[in-house]
Structure 1
Amino acid sequence: MPRYIKRGAIIFSLSFVSFAVIHIFYTYTGVHETPRRTDQLGNGVDTIDRDLDNGVTRESGQGRESVKIRLSDFRESSKNFFLDKPVTNIKLSNNDVSSSRKEPGRRARYLVYRCGGKFTFCGGWADRFKGIAIGYLISKVTNRTFGISITHPPCDLQRYLLPNQIAWNIDLSNTVVKSKKNSVGYHDVISDVNFYHSIEKMDFDKYLKEDLVFFKGNLDYVDKFKNNYRYLNQNAWLANLTRDQIYAKVYNQLFSLAPDIQRDLSSFLKIARPTPSHKLVCSQIRVGRNPTNPRDRANIGSKEDVSKVWRFLGQYNDPDKYRIYVTSDSEQVRTEAHARFGKMLVDTEGPLVHIDKFTNSTSVCDGMRKLILDQHVLMNCDVFLLTFSGLGRMAAYLRQKESGLFCLVKHEIVSCSAHTLKELYNVFG
């Protein structure tokens, strides 16, 4: 081969290699991207929240704000994206379709219930669980990995509840934030009645266009979701379940109690039922705005309503047969319960806190712990009288027992059924 041809081949090869090296450098360092804020607040989601303020593209839609941004590469890390410690030894169910089986040629997609950052108004725990439940159900029919991120209040949810069958504490830093083409969307449907009514016919793949979707809702959507004709085959497992059964099944798939709370619950129930024949009689009394909870709505429970609850519980004032448990949003009610029932009353420790309207940030995590424990106590009650309370209704759903359920409705106490509470109280949630 002539010498000048060899030189040309060598020069061409070196040029090609140099071009490839430069291309790889620019691709993996991201220096060609628009500069963006990378200061983290200890949580990758908060970084994304900040980036949204300077997002590349914003889209408006009814009942939501959808924001698309480009995400630069994140280094793989064993640290959990949402929580301080990754969960290990999580057993996933074989039929879990929310594990986002990636279709050929399609990027992995995610739906994350989000409370915190840009989503600071989420409601109480019952409202949040309703949003979590519908987010999880939507993730199943759209083949998205489901996650939960709650940073408002700043209490690690895994201090109270652990993933059970579904690993909802997903590590996005190792998965979704891999490609610069990934998009992020925020869908806030809190108290959005239009979304509530449209969910029965909605095509969720068209509604949720982004790869990583942060979602927040607070209404009782499961009946309309169950009847969506587009997903009847995928939702066949819901066909013969009532509303309360759906919530109970979803709750059990997502959550198990943290070990220390499980120990406290077991100890409490031993005291509440000192003999096998003892029954636990409970009431969840919500009064609304009061000195303990000054930011809540007014005129939810009147003094006359509370008096009727006391008379109802008084029927069981026999220490040889019963123990009485009262939880409330009012320390005054709690104090009066102790005065009325004395040693017959069993109680859980901790402050009374509304986790969305708290005034004391130092006690809110202790209050959230008590809230989760209280819900599980109510789920174990033999007789349960509930008032106009989302927490009470949710506990009645998860209790999965028709007997011994009573409701204070329109100033009267009536026997009621868990699967008709929504209609009985005439509520969206």
Structure 2
Amino acid sequence: MSAVSMAVVLLMAFMVGYKMLPSSTWLPSSTSQYQENNEISTTLFLESPVTTEIPPLKGYIIYDCDDQHTGPCGGWSERMAGIFSSYVISVLLRKHFLIRYTRSFNLTDYLIPSTFDWKYNSSILPGRSWDYQDFFSKTPNALKKNSIKSLGDLFPYDVNFVRMSWDYTEYFRHFQILPNVIPWVLELHFADIYLKFFNTLFQPTKFISQTVNRVVRNVTKLACAHISLGGRRTISEDDAFIYKEQLDPIWNLLRAMEKRNYSLFIATDSQFVRNTAKTRFKHLLEVEGRILQMDRPIGGDGVAGGYKKVVADFLVLTKCDVLILTKSGFGILAAYMNNKTKEMYCLNSDEVLPCSRYTIHSFYPEKIFYPLQ
């Protein structure tokens, strides 16, 4: 197409009232109905008439999980839910979004920015007002009011550090401005929201990619389980998820998968489960490293390897053809990320039943990711 023809096309587009969106804008999916095996459509809409200019970003919302402030950040899934909620708030308020994540480990050792640079740098502080607020396991009243003004009053400073651990999607969806600024939070299923969010913000470092690839290379069919006992967790809201005697249905299903020539991978928070699995299965794939709790004071050898194992285990679970889950935010989040799995099962009491990314919460309706209404 000639330069003149292109100019005519662009002029006509503007005459009929359409605008080009900046590349950093989150665009909605054309898919609003969800079935078990469909994938998110990548069709992009350009439907906003030209009325006023989009205001520039002003100020910062910074998800904070560091050692300067006491109090828990939560486990892996709670931290990811907190990052997600903080990000949506930044979009609603037209503020820059950054992450300061140095508790337990530096997030950028394992995950780095994908589509925009969210890394915090203290150079933004001089000459700016700032404050820190902790909403761990709490819901801010401003979200309950569904008011942009109330939300802006909650974060009035130039730099707003915030710690969160819950997903507030059900509150966000009552904000009238949401469809105009971040429509996919309204349009997508809960599972697909996290898939879009994670892939847009994060990509694994080369070190983590190599660790994951060492596990899954030369594997044609992979059956996985995430088994959380949860009994020795330090966060008071966590329950003792399952008892050891309830694991037989999982072992039996994995044995059946092994007979179908699946390679096996098990991620767990229990050394007991790890040892038992090694005695039951001869060719068990695993990420080397110490088992540890994310938000528990830890000392001794192998700490760095343990945190690497947490992230690598999570990413391996997102690649499994068959995925077996227990009641754990870690496994549920991995299931949200895994839209290629052919079979998914959830442990419910003393049996494993077929489930999917879209039905997990009917099996585990308790307080995981989000506050109960």
Cα drift, residue 375 of structure 1: 0.5
Residue of structure 1 aligned with 2:203, choices 256, 260, 280: 256
2:136 aligns to what? 190
Superposed counterparts of 1:297-376, under 5 Å: 297=238, 299-318=240-259, 321-343=261-283, 345-360=284-299, 362-376=301-315
Contact 1:244 1:419 in 2 (8 A): yes
Query: Which consecutive unaligned segments of at least 5 residues does structure 2 have?
Result: 1-21, 27-52
Seq. identity, %: 28
Partner SS, residue 301 of structure 1: coil
Which amino acid letter does the alignment assign opposite residue 272 of structure 2?
Q
Counterpart check, 1:163 vs 2:104: no
Kept after mapping to 2: 8 A contact 1:109/1:176: no
**Structure 1: 5+ residue stretches without partners:** 1-92
Corresponding residue number in structure 1 for 2:334? 395
State the partner residue of 1:14.
none
> Could you give the per-residue CA deviations for residues 167-189 of structure 1, whole angstroms, max 9, x where no partner exists?
0113341x342x2xx32222211
Q: Counterpart of 1:209? A: 156
Q: Which residue in 2 is equivalent to 1:136?
A: 87
Paired residue type of 1:232: P
Whether 2:211 is the aligned partner of 1:282: answer no
1:385 aligns with 2:335: no
Deviations 1:93-133 (A, max 9, x none): 82248xxx9968xx941111111211441111110000001
User: For the residues of structure 1 that align with 2:65 and 2:87, how far apart are their CA atoms?
Assistant: 15
TM-aligned CA distance change 1:186 to 1:102, over 3 Å: farther
Distance across 2 between alignment mates of 1:294 and 1:108: 38
The TM-score normalised by the length of structure 1 is 0.68
Equivalent positions of 1:91-240 (< 5 A) are 94-96=23-25, 108-116=58-66, 117-153=68-104, 155-173=105-123, 175-177=124-126, 179=127, 182-193=128-139, 198=144, 200=146, 203-240=150-187
Query: Within 5 A, what are the aligned runs for 1:34-73?
Result: none
What TM-score, normalized by structure 2, do the two folds share?
Answer: 0.78
Which structure has the larger Rg over C-alpha atoms? 1
CA contact (8 A) 1:348 1:370 kept: yes
State the aligned residue count: 318
Counterparts in 2 of 1:237 and 1:317: CA distance versus 1, 3 Å = closer
Partner Cα separation in structure 2 for residue 411 and residue 200 of structure 1: 41
| Aligned Cα root-mean-square deviation (Å) | 2.6
Distance 2:119 2:25 in 1: 15
> Of residues 404, 418, 423 in structure 1, which corresponds to 2:343?
404
CA distance in 2, matches of 1:196, 1:94: 30
